[in-house]
């Protein structure tokens, strides 16, 4: 059975903060909990380690996860090393391929998510889907959905969303993925996606990820001034957020800003592009935005120095 994502889950708020990109708050709230149950403690530690990875604090995870750590969390050390130590990437990928060619515990969703994420970053999308398909875990479905969107398989992504809604329609992750699908669909669905991002921001926190979601919807609707306001708000929260800089670069192009302004955004993007968070799916999913990015010869998240997910 998938993890419980409902309101009766003791880790609900921590999960919510993690999924919307509020990583430091997720860590802070998790560390306040006094947990005795080993299974719940493992789930809490998973969210803490993944939040540290999302904050690019890879060494914290590498040093903290030792032989005494719950074995199901060990794959997170591989992910931290993959993202933080480029020289080790080939060895980690080879280790991964060896593990999945043998007897692998498909009940460990952490291992599946790590494997799916690394394969996603390596560009082995079909292999990532094959691994993730073995689980009915909500996050595995979300990562599959993100990969399908990257493959321009909106039809298959919608099927994944339906499965997620059947598992837990009220989960924050399900709400987020519905917004990603609506954003990719475009047209009238852009307003639905906007409301989803807005509701999550009002309920939890207006993170750069959610603000970028709103901004992308507004750009798709031609509401450029409102979109710029959302992106400025996102920059105030994190001036190096790659997702924000990509959308700001595209918006500068679409609104005919000066070459100087466009180049400034592009230079900022180049400086931060190597550190795209793997937990946040690209919000630049529709063709207009992709073409705008391409005009500046910038790769979208997930293609930048092999460092994105979202998922997740």
User: Residue 178 belongs to a domain with what CATH number?
Assistant: 1.25.40.10
Whether 19 is in a domain gets the answer yes
pLDDT for the residue 270: 67
Whether 236 is in a domain gets the answer yes
pLDDT for the residue 164: 97
**Cβ 201 vs Cβ 176: under 8 Å:** no
Whether 145 is in a domain gets the answer yes
pLDDT digits (tens, 9 = 90+) for 88-144: 999 999 998 888 876 677 889 999 999 999 999 999 999 999 999 999 999 999 999
Pairwise pLDDT comparison (2 vs 79), residue with the higher score: 79
A 10 A CB-CB count for 155 gives 8
Residue 156 banded pLDDT, cuts 50, 70, 90? very high
Whether 302 is in a domain gets the answer no
Please give the tally of structural domains in the chain: 1
Whether 196 is in a domain gets the answer yes
- Cβ-based neighbours of 121, under 8 Å, separated by 6 or more: 82, 278, 302, 306, 307, 308
Distances from the Cα of 185 to the Cα of 133, 249, 278, angstroms: 23, 22, 23
Whether 249 is in a domain gets the answer yes
Radius of gyration of the chain (CA): 19
Tokens for 36, please give them. 């005795």
Domain region containing 245: 12-295
Whether 276 is in a domain gets the answer yes
pLDDT for the residue 96: 87
Query: What's the pTM?
Result: 0.84
Question: Which residue in 271, 187, 197, 181 sits closest to 234, CA to CA?
Answer: 197
For tokens 């689980």, the residue is 135
pLDDT for the residue 289: 40
Whether 198 is in a domain gets the answer yes
């Amino acid at each position: 059975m998938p993890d419980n994502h409902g309101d009766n889950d003791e880790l609900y708020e921590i999960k919510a903060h993690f999924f919307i990109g509020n990583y430091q708050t997720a860590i802070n709230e998790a560390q306040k909990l006094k947990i005795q149950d080993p299974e719940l403690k493992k789930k809490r530690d998973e969210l803490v380690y993944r939040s540290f990875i999302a904050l690019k604090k890879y060494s914290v995870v590498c040093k903290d996860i030792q032989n005494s750590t719950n074995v199901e969390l060990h794959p997170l050390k591989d992910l931290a090393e993959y993202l933080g130590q480029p020289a080790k990437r080939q060895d980690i990928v080879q280790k991964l391929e060896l593990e999945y060619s043998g007897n692998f515990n498909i009940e460990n969703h952490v291992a599946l998510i790590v494997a799916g994420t690394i394969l996603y970053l390596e560009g082995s999308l079909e292999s990532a889907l094959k691994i993730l398909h073995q689980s009915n875990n909500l996050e595995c479905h979300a990562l599959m959905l993100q990969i399908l969107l990257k493959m321009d398989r909106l039809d298959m992504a919608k099927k994944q969303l339906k499965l997620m809604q059947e598992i837990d329609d009220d989960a924050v992750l399900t709400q987020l993925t519905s917004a990603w699908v609506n954003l990719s669909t475009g047209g009238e669905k852009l307003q639905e996606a906007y409301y989803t991002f807005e509701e999550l921001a009002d309920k939890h926190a207006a993170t750069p990820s959610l603000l970028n979601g709103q901004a992308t919807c507004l750009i798709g609707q031609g509401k450029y001034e409102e979109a710029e306001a959302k992106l400025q708000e996102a920059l105030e929260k994190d001036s190096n957020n790659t997702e924000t800089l990509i959308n700001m670069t595209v918006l500068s192009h679409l609104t005919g800003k000066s070459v100087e302004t466009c180049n400034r955004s592009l230079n900022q993007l180049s400086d931060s592009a190597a550190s795209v968070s793997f937990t946040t799916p690209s919000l630049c999913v529709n063709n207009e935005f992709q073409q705008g990015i391409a005009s500046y010869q910038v790769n979208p998240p997930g293609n930048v120095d092999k460092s994105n997910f979202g998922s997740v």
